[in-house]
Chain A
Amino acid sequence: MSKRTVELELATPGLDARGQPARVPLVARGSEPGNEPDLGGEHLLINLGPQHPATHGVLRLVVELDGEMVVRVIPHVGYLHSGFEKLGEYRHYNQIIPLTDRTDYLSPMANNVGLALAAEQLMGIEITPRCQVLRVIACEMSRIISHMVWLGTTSIDLGAFTPFLWAFQERERIYDLQEMWTGARLTTSVTRVGGLMADVPDAFVPGLRHFTNTFPNTLAEIDRVLTRNAVWAGRTQGIGVMTKAEAINYSLSGPMLRASGVPYDVRKDKPYLGYETYDFEVPVGEHGDVYDRYLLRLEECHQSNRILRQALDRLPDGPINVDDPRVILPSKSRAMSDMEAMIFHFKQVMEGVKAPVGEAYVGIENPKGELGNYLVSDGTAKPVRWRIRPPSFINLSALPKMAEGHLLSDLIAINASVDIVMGEVDR
């Protein structure tokens, strides 16, 4: 008998008469086949996920049902927990950036920007004008692809297949641009503390301009298919309502907060990267239901497109990195020929970039909500604490409240409207 067989035997809690592992049926008592009881008043416990396409990742919901009505939802998260915050304590600031790709993996570039901004705030670094505009482009491209994935998967959850194809086609075009810029479609790691990994290639600007010219057509098509569609409106209007006071009390952020009528957008109210100089509107909903969240995200795509156009128009020439040899690696040729440059190269690679003692929190408006990066430093090159304020984790915590009293099929719509990404919920 091999070692593995012994372990598997340990794994079985007990055997039934036929030698099969005994299972506990998780259904209401007395519902054996052929003996259909009157189930009136009895509650049913069902398990949704963690491997279920409508839970958008490895989210598990234990749902208590009265007939088809949801009485209680108990979410279980953590299946994708990777301990990023712990790992960050063992890495230099620049080495943390690849970890941020993998948190909200539907908008990796925006996460890179969030961490770089927090580290720069901590170190007191002022980035160059070209870098600022390129980072705005990175953030808004992320917003578009994230909202496209949300729109596609949500429409599939509610039975509309066509918008999914259109949305993913647009996302693919942005992915091509990301690949052109960084060499990767998903794990972009585009920022560095004090600048960027690389400047954009020559074909990038015309490519993105072409995208911004044609993207509104797709949005118009999606709008025509969904917005006044009776089935879509019937399944989303009045579902999962959060009032203004509830949305604030539950710490919701991003589109979830604004759909409930709270006009708070970090880009407007605590601007970073020079967002105050761009001309764009912040859409605000009034009913706080799934339908308003849909309208709001659709409008945000239009606004992101506007910002992208303005950013392309103003993209200045110049360096992408700050001129500070303690933060930015010298060029390879200088490091090989200049003694001083070589020393800085060596110190950065071996010791990392040191941050002064202190702490900094920088919140940015991510597609899912306010992404906060909180860095605490004790003067070494590795943070004492790296905290991600995960917007979709906090938004998801309101799911039990939103789903109470709705039908099971509405639970799917509500869960989709939160726009979760489990990489970020579990981190």
Chain B
Amino acid sequence: MNPSVDALRTTFGDAIGRAEPARDGETIVVVRGERLADVMGWLRDTPGQAYDYLVDVTAVEYRDRERALEVVYFLRSLERRADLRVKVELDPRGELAVDSVTPLWAGANWLEREVYDMFGVTFRGHPDLRRILMWETYAEGYPLRKDFPLRGRFSRAEQVRQALNANPEAHYSLEELSIAEAFDELPAEMRERLRRGERGKLPFDE
């Protein structure tokens, strides 16, 4: 077991949940979501811990619906050559939100965007929380959630219809169009659609 777990318990008390070894020998420690930003800042900046490198951020949803959705942070101390895996458990039926660690590690920026894109977890305080792998107006939901069917939510016909309906200008974000000062020159109707985010319809919406 990684000695950082004991140090965490003495510093943060009951904000630290269970700790267990993974099958690859590293230690997993579960942290209460409210204290995540403090715990991560402490792990990074305390001499003797010095987890200065964020390896990865991802999420896991289990097939068992009763189990919590986990956001997993892989930390590494480059100086001590030590790894630690921090998890935050979220109730999949409640609000999926956790504090962003992007202020601590710039590398978390895209990783958190990917977790948001794939699982719908909101990261509070993220500077630019947009979809990243799916397009911005993607309306079918969050692909890596267990209730998302492998073939997607829309019928193939609806997917084709949307692909044909796509117009090239819709692929510029409002921010980008404002750089070019082109936003005001768009037809009013397209401006409105862009503002709304131009989403498709789910077949069971109608």
Residues of A within 8 A of B (CB): 7-8, 10-14, 22-29, 43-45, 62, 64, 72, 74, 76-78, 81, 83, 85-87, 90, 121-122, 124, 246, 248-252, 262, 264, 269-270, 356, 358-363, 370, 372, 374, 376, 378, 384-385, 387, 389, 393-394, 396-398, 401, 426-427
Contacts and interface: CB of A to CB of B under 8 A. Distances in A.
A24 B52 CA distance: 46
A25 B85 contact: no
Contacts of A28: 180-181
B176 A385 contact: no
Interface string B40-70: 0000000000001111101011111000000
Interface of B: 22-24, 26, 28, 52-56, 58, 60-64, 72, 74, 78, 81, 85, 105-111, 114, 118, 132-135, 143-144, 148, 150, 161, 164-167, 169, 171-173, 175-177, 179-182, 185-187, 189-190
Contact of B63 (A359, A384, A389, A426): A384
Contacts of B53: 248, 251
Given A86-B144, A360-B22, A401-B106, A372 B55 contact: yes
Nearest to A80: B133
Contacts of B72: 374
Given A26-B182, A372-B55, A385-B61, A394 B24 contact: no
A121 B24 contact: yes
Contacts of A389: 55-56, 58, 74
A272 to B, nearest CB: 11
B111 to A, nearest CB: 7
21 contacts: A8-B164, A26-B182, A43-B179, A62-B176, A78-B133, A78-B135, A86-B144, A86-B148, A246-B106, A250-B105, A251-B54, A251-B55, A358-B23, A372-B56, A374-B56, A387-B58, A393-B110, A394-B56, A394-B107, A396-B110, A426-B133
Given A361-B85, A378-B62, A26 B24 contact: no
Given A13-B167, A64-B179, A358 B107 contact: no
A249 B182 contact: no
Contacts of A249: 105-107
A372 B15 CA distance: 29
A262 B78 contact: yes
A397 B161 contact: no
Contacts, number: 158
A364 to B, nearest CB: 12
Contacts of A45: 176, 179-180, 182
Contact of B109 (A72, A246, A397): A397
A11 B110 contact: no
Given A252-B107, A372-B56, A393-B114, 8 more contacts: A62-B172, A74-B173, A86-B144, A90-B150, A248-B52, A269-B81, A387-B56, A389-B55
- Top 6 closest A-B pairs, CB basis? A251-B107, A45-B180, A397-B110, A78-B133, A358-B23, A360-B24
Contacts of B175: 74
A158 B125 CA distance: 39
Contacts of B167: 11-13
B22 A7 contact: no
B62 to A, nearest CB: 6
Contacts of B56: 372, 374, 387, 389, 394
Contacts of A363: 55
B106 to A, nearest CB: 5
A11 B134 contact: no
B24 A251 contact: no
Contact of A248 (B78, B148, B179, B187): B78
B133 A14 contact: no
A270 B72 CA distance: 21
Given A13-B190, A26-B182, A251-B105, A356 B164 contact: no
